[in-house]
């Protein structure tokens, strides 16, 4: 969790990170959440302005739920 927070762009601008870190930030759900919060709170953005970040989060959630369901196994008693 600490790595996700540090790589989210909350404390350090993503543009000032090395290229490899900027690429890793694309798959960081916390980074997208921070971007959404910044856009809504500071710029007053609506759904159309944050749709890309929302789609990333929905995609991430779908993948994680799919993995969780596939890994869950009922033990026959």
pLDDT of the residue at 76: 56
Residue-wise pLDDT for 47-56, tens only, equals: 999 999 999 9
14-29: pLDDT as tens digits: 888 888 888 888 888 8
The predicted model scores a pTM of: 0.74
Average pLDDT of every residue of the chain: 86
Question: Over the range 30-40, which residues count as b (16 or more CB within 10 Å of their CB) and which as e?
Answer: bbbbbbbeeee
Does 36 score more than 60 pLDDT? yes
Identify the weakest region by mean pLDDT among 1-10, 31-40, 46-55: 1-10
């Amino acid at each position: 969790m600490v790595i996700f927070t540090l790589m989210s762009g909350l404390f350090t601008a993503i543009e000032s990170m090395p290229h490899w870190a900027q690429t890793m930030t694309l798959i960081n759900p916390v980074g997208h959440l921070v971007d959404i919060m910044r856009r809504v709170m500071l710029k007053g953005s609506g759904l159309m302005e944050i749709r890309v970040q929302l789609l990333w989060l929905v995609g991430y959630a779908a993948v994680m739920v799919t993995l969780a369901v596939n890994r869950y196994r009922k033990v026959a008693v």
